[in-house]
Structure 1
Amino acid sequence: MPRTTRITIVLLFAAWVVDYIDRTVINFALPAIGDDLGLDHTQQGLLVSMFFISYALIQIPAGLLADRYGALKVGIAGLTAWSVFTGLTAVAWSFAVLLAIRFLFGLVQGVFPAAAIKALAERSRPEERTTAAGWTNSSNAAGLLLAAVIAGVLLPTVGWRVMFAVISVLGVAVILAWRRWMPEPLVQDEIPIANVGTRAERRAVLFSPALLGFAVIFFGYDVLVWGVTAWTPTFLKEQHGISQAGIAFAAVPTTLAAAVGVVLGARLSDRIGGRPRVIVVPAMAFTAVMLFVLPRAEPFGLFVLVGTVMSLVAGMAYMPAFAVPLRSLPSAYIGAATGVIIFGGQLAGVLSPLAFGVVTDHLSYTTAFETMAAGPLLALVAAAVVPQTAEAFRALLSRRGSATVPSKESLT
């Protein structure tokens, strides 16, 4: 990869780590927040889902903003604002106030993903975009791991309020690094698109069945990620009596395995030219089965082992949801197009934590884990029917007749 691409990966990796620490540390704090504010499982699940409601709603507008005003400007604005709301979480004095803060936090953090992917696309070659994005998105697992470690240290010592205040300052360091070291975009060898940015052209891309199919893949994948990730700490504490330190320990191998899976899935996607069916179908079928095994896995060591294997395999399905669009579209469309796909994943973030909490309250934890298998099954069905290559994707867009799609030669 060019040096520009490598530097961009490092800087985006750091930003995504902070992103995931700030958004997921609440998963570990839910039991303490529930005790402090007197919340049941449904209310705790709603706290997680409230973030994703606003996070999902802003994805497509955020992509359009990144395309119009520039990825770096939008990304830095989002990073600054979400750090502020992370700090404000520490002063929430009631369930209603915490819900409002989580909603606003999701709104401002939601402008970041499309801007980050666009910034990377502008600084990488199309045939390497999925691999580059895989490296940056492996940071998700690193963020989850660090969130677990931070929670394991700070929750029992200073409490959840001080913890949120402390982590709110992490974004400042990333902002300074971006301003100092983020390189200029590469010169992309793309044929200019007539009337780029017109409403007709963007509608043809953003609302095409082909692109929406990739959003469905990401929705199904994130049903697993956000439903299971949000509730595993509470499950381990309530059902198995595991301490906060033990929960943090359990997160280490599972999150590292997820990071490895993301990178492997990205590299394989680039090697086979996209073809999400090859990766997503077997990975999500295996994951669906593991969701029936996981809540029954005892003792604790077996639970960690099953979770680790499941995370490794499931992580391979992450980047195939983006691979074909990233290889197919010029950078002028990347922000908005990836916003559509990310919207699918964040819609799952709205529904799955709340659904998990409701099922747990009315049935059991075991049934809640099993319910999450609907996500991987949906993802594998979508992966089987979406366009499998950049050529097939562009051909479907061309048939819509509203947009001019660049040839393969112009993107390589």
Structure 2
Amino acid sequence: MPRTTRITVMLLFAAWVVDYIDRTVINFALPDIGSDLGLDHTQRGLLVSVFFIAYALVQVPGGLLADRYGALRVGMIGLLAWSVFTGLTAVAWSFSALLAMRFLFGLVQGVFPAAAIKALAERSLPEQRTTATGWTNSSNAVGILLASVIAGILLPTAGWRVMFAVISILGVTVIVAWRRWMPEPLPQEKIPMAAGGQAAERRAVLFAPSLLGFAAIFFGYDVLVWGVTAWTPSFLQEQRGISTIGIACAAVPSTLAAAAGVVLGARISDKLGGQPRVIVVPAMLFTAVMLFFLPRAEPFPLFVIIGTLMSLAAGLAFMPAFAVPLRALPSTYIGAASGVIIFGGQLAGVLSPLAFGAVTDHFSYTTAFETMAIGPLLAIIAAWLVPQTADAFRAAVGTRRPAVIPDKEVLP
């Protein structure tokens, strides 16, 4: 892997860690926020879902902006803006005000993912993109883990408002690091260039059923991840009487397992040249079954073990949702295509936390966990139907193989 790629992975890793700390720390604060503002489970679920409404709305526009104005510029603007709204969350005085802050926070954070994927695509070889992106996205689990640690320390000692104020400064440090150390993109002779008819091909890709199929895989994956992640702390506190510190400690093995699963799934995808069906089907089938056992695991250590195994299996299915398009498409419009796939996942983020809270209010936590199995089953169906290789994907969307410029050719 080129040095440029390795440095880019490290810097994007840091940015994604901050991204996930800022967005998931509210999951641990929901019981305190609910008590402070007098919110039921449905309202708490809406606080999580409203972020994803805004986040989903800007995925494709964010990718188009990154393609047009540059990935780093769009990424840094998003990073700075979401840090500001993270800090402003600390002063929300009512449910409506907090809802508005979470919406604005999601809106500005939503321009980042496609920009980050495009920035890495410009600094990595196509045959290594899935592995490089997998290492970058393993940061998601690290961010969730650090969010649990921060919440475990600050919630009982300083409260949720101080916690949001403190974490708002993390994004600024990443911006400074990006400006100082982010390398230039790889030379154009090293990465594929778009063939003629770029605008027409972009439209063909963005509206292709095949790309929407990969978005459906990510949707199913995120129904599981965001539904379970958002509500597990509340479940453990309300149903099992586990302290915030205990919940934070329990998050360590599951988040590390999720990170390992993401990296392993990415490596396998690159080794197989795609083939999402081979990875997604068994991984999601396992997690769907485990959702029926998880809420019934009475001994807390057993709950942690099942959750850890689920996290490992779910992590395997993360990068297969991106592997084939990343290998098939040129970096010049990979931002917009990635935005479509990410939109699928964030749509799940809108629906699953809210649905989980509503099912809990009307039925039980156990039924809510079981309902989340819909996501893995949808991912299995989509993985079975999408093109399994880069060539099959290009044939399905009607694009040509990107041309590689010879080393000695002089670029205009």
Q: Shorter-chain TM-score: which interval? A: over 0.9
Residue aligned with 1:99, SS: helix
Opposite residue 18 of structure 2, the aligned amino acid is V
| Partners of 1:395 and 1:410 in 2: CA distance | 22
Aligned positions of 1:138-149 closer than 5 A: 138-149=138-149
User: Aligned-pair distance for 1:397?
Assistant: 1.4
Distance 2:238 2:2 in 1: 49
Alpha-carbon separation, structure 2, partners of 1:10 and 1:191: 25
Q: In 1, are the aligned partners of 2:221 and 2:345 still within 8 Å (CA)?
A: yes
CA contact (8 A) 2:52 2:349 kept: yes
Partners of 2:95 and 2:84 in 1: how far apart?
19
Match of 1:360 in 2: 360
Distance 1:33 1:64 in 2: 36
Partners of 2:360 and 2:368 within 8 A in 1: yes
Partner of 2:282: 282
Question: Is the Cα–Cα contact under 8 Å of residues 193 and 331 in structure 2 kept in the other structure?
Answer: no
Task: Say what the alpha-carbon RMSD is for the aligned residues.
Answer: 1.3
Name the counterpart of 1:193: 195
The CA deviation at 1:25 is 0.1
8 Å contact from structure 1 (residues 130, 322) kept in 2:
yes
Write the distance in 2 (CA, Å) between the matches of 1:209 and 1:171.
36
Question: Counterpart in 2 of 1:405?
Answer: 400
Matching residue's letter, 2:400? V
How far residue 298 of structure 1 moved from its aligned partner, in angstroms, is 1.5
Q: What is the DSSP-based 3-state SS (H/G/I as helix, E as strand, rest coil) of the residue aligned with 1:91? A: coil
2:194–2:332 Cα contact (<8 Å) kept: no
Identity of aligned residues (%): 79
- Contact 1:397–1:405 (CA under 8 A) maintained in structure 2: no
Match of 1:333 in 2: 333
2:100 alignment counterpart: 100
Q: Distance in 2 between matches of 1:52 and 1:105?
A: 10
Structure 2, gaps ≥5 residues long: 408-412
Give the residue type in structure 1 aligned to 2:33.
I
The aligned runs of 1:135-284 (5 Å cut-off) are 135-188=135-188, 189-196=191-198, 198=199, 200-284=200-284
What residue identity is the alignment partner of 1:88?
L
CA distance in 2, matches of 1:84, 1:408: 42
**For each residue in 1:4-42, what CA deviation from the matched residue of structure 2 results, as whole angstroms up to 9, or x when unmatched?**
000000000000000000000000000000000000000
Deviations 1:128-155 (A, max 9, x none): 0000000000000000000000000000
The CA distance in 1 between the partners of 2:194 and 2:389, in whole Å, is 22
Q: Does the CA contact (< 8 Å) of 1:190 and 1:411 recur in 2?
A: no
CA distance in 2, matches of 1:33, 1:411: 58
Given the superposition, is the C-alpha separation of residues 44 and 5 from structure 1 closer, same or farther in structure 2, using an over 3 Å criterion? same
- State the distance in 2 between where 1:328 and 1:234 align: 41
Which position in structure 1 is the counterpart of 2:85?
Answer: 85
The structure-2 alpha-carbon separation of the partners of 1:218 and 1:408, relative to structure 1 and needing over 3 Å to count, comes to: farther
- Residues 47-62 of structure 1: matches in 2 within 5 Å? 47-62=47-62
- Is the Cα contact below 8 Å between 2:195 and 2:403 reproduced in 1? no
5 Å-filtered alignment, 1:383-398, equals 383-398=383-398
CA contact (8 A) 1:126 1:411 kept: no
Report the Cα distance in structure 2 between the residues aligned to 1:294 and 1:319, rounded to whole angstroms: 24
Aligned to 1:314: 314
Corresponding position of 1:401 = none
Q: How far off is 1:195 after superposition?
A: 3.8
Note the C-alpha offset of 1:406: 2.4
Give CA-to-partner distance per residue, 1:339-370, whole Å, 9 cap, x none.
Answer: 00000000000000000000000000000000
Aligned AA (1:184): E
Counterpart residue number, 2:410? none
Give the letter for the 1:140 counterpart.
Answer: N
Distance in 2, Cα, partners of 1:312 & 1:88: 35
CA deviation after TM superposition for structure 1 residue 410, in Å: 7.1
Residue 201 of structure 1 and its aligned partner are, at CA, apart by: 2.8
Rounded to whole Å, the distance in 2 between the matches of 1:171 and 1:391 is 39
Check conservation: 2:330, 2:402, Cα contact below 8 A: no
Q: Describe the SS at the equivalent of 1:194.
A: coil
CA distance in 2, matches of 1:213, 1:194: 26
Give 1:190 deviation, angstroms: 2.5
Q: Which amino acid in 2 is paired with 1:44?
A: R
Take 2:406 and 2:170, find their aligned partners in 1: how far apart are those partners? Answer: 37
In the TM superposition, residue 405 of structure 1 has moved relative to its aligned partner by: 2.4
Q: Which residue of 2 aligns with 1:14?
A: 14
CA distance in 1, matches of 2:46, 2:197: 43
TM-score by length of 1: 0.97
Counterpart contact for 2:194–2:403, Cα < 8 Å: no
Q: Return the offset for 1:203.
A: 1.8
Q: Secondary structure at the match of 1:163?
A: helix
Aligned residue identity for 2:307: G
Secondary structure of 2:282's counterpart equals: helix
* Aligned equivalent of 1:375: 375
Superposed CA offset, 1:291-340 (max 9, x none): 00100012000000000011001100000000000000000111000000
Aligned amino acid, residue 8 of structure 2: T
- State the secondary structure of the residue aligned to 1:388: coil
**In structure 1, what residue type is equivalent to 2:314?**
A
Within 2, Cα distance between the matches of 1:154 and 1:407?
Answer: 50
* Partner-residue secondary structure (3-state), 1:92: coil
TM-score between both structures, scaled by the size of structure 2 = 0.97
CA deviation vs aligned residue, 1:45-98 (integer Å, no higher than 9, x gap): 000000000000000000000000000000000000000000000000000000
Query: What is the deviation of 1:194?
Result: 1.9
Whether the 8 Å contact between 1:56 and 1:346 is mirrored in structure 2 is yes
Q: Work out whether residues 88 and 165 of structure 1, in 8 Å CA contact, stay in contact via their aligned partners in 2.
A: yes
